[in-house]
Structure 1
Amino acid sequence: MAGVNRKPLQGVSNIVWFNWHYYAAGLVFLGAGVAVRPFLTGAANAGVLGLVLAAGVSMTVSLAVSLYVYDLSGLYALGWLRGLPEAPGTNLVNIHAGFDETSALLRQRYPKATWQVFDFYDPARHTEISIRRARKAYAAFPGTRAVATGRLPLPAGSVDAVLLIMAAHEIRDPAERIAFFAQLRAALRPGGKVVVVEHLRDGYNLAAYHFGFFHFYSRRTWRHAFDAAGLQLVEETKITPFVSVFTLQKNDTAP
């Protein structure tokens, strides 16, 4: 199989392209602010200047952090992913929410394993135009199966590891999220793992993405979902200050 390589600046360019309407609106706002300032004086002039500077800094910081996270940090080099079984017969599952940037890279890193790829994108519920643009721009990984979060086709005790890389936060309902993780727990073989990679609703991501950080969940929210689903957090690491990795196993004391 030919090697899979990401293009330079692929991450940040995808963000701009899939969300170009936001950036276009931001540029229009900046341009309008610059255009009207010569006609204003005093406090009005200073206020518009403050708004223009704040908007410009906000856009610049979010793009700079996105460049760091998605292009420079090694997120997609997968060096942070350690301890997955690799022997023939290993059953690994990658689950995403409509835009899959990782399955080809994962199969390249673990070629001896048997891979299943699930996509829980639901066009009736995931209505963001950005995900529709992403799905048009990139073909699905071969063999990807469309699934519902409440009906995963995973028999009990059949899986060595499940990966959710920047995907699980799209399950917005708390009860649905817990039920989803409970299915993953039931599907794990002894010693199996669930690996969840996410931005958190914390100070770092607030500084980087401003109001966008409300799309993420706090560490406390994730811990509650894991605990309620009968999963035990065995390791928590950082890829960058903005991205966390939770490694989970069955909590054998859970009911």
Structure 2
Amino acid sequence: MNIRNIFLLSILAFGTRAQAQIHLEHRIQAGFNIGGTAPVGFPNTIRKVESYRPEFSPSLGYELSWRPSATRKWGAAVGVKLDYKGMTVKDEVMYFHTMITMDDGTGKSEFEGAFTGKNKTTVRNAYVSFPVSATFTPNDKWRFNLGTYMAWLFSANFHGNVSDGYIRNGGPLGEKVAVNTAEFDFGTDMRRFDIGVQGGAERRIGKKLRVMGNLNWGLRPVFPSDFRGMDFPMYNIYFTLGVAYRI
């Protein structure tokens, strides 16, 4: 056997050994997102939350994870997910800066200013998300992950109505306009890119099936800094509860 053949066989043997040592896992993940597109902290313009309801917000994705070997505890994972994130909330507000459209029967009028009264907001957005995580597997039952995610918005819904109040047109000292009911729609104003941190855990309940929980906390406000529909930033803060199936 010549030197060339020995060299090729050595490379093949090394590659086969390295591949055997790397422990790869493929997972299909499915669950529901529960949470809100909300401020961090409670603004003093929101006086009372009357009700909260999570929207139907499924999450479906694929994840590839790897460790240097099946016996090593630390590893990494990357994935891609289709994430719906949504909620409906009713609250009472005072001097809440916003923009509304009111129809008095003869035409529509737009107002921007400080609103006092009742508010109902519905959010239902769809993202393609790419999570990247460090993983820790202490035993064959548990696995923990912590990392970041990037997400692109491809379907935006952020709308609602206000009622039973009034708006100070132009600001707190502006003309007082009575509002029986009016609407707003800010879906087209939302940012198309989101980034945040995420982390959670999963527990094995079968040979290939696992239950999981994962918190996703957005670090970038969902509206740009020059948005005038409200005067405080809002973030995507959602918890995913579901299952993972190893394939």
Query: Does the TM-score normalized on the shorter chain lie above 0.5?
Result: no
* TM-score, length basis structure 1: 0.25
* TM-score, length basis structure 2: 0.26
Higher strand share: 2
The answer to which structure, 1 or 2, has the higher relative contact order (CA under 8 A, 6+ apart) is: 2
Largest Rg, 1 or 2: 2
Higher helix share: 1
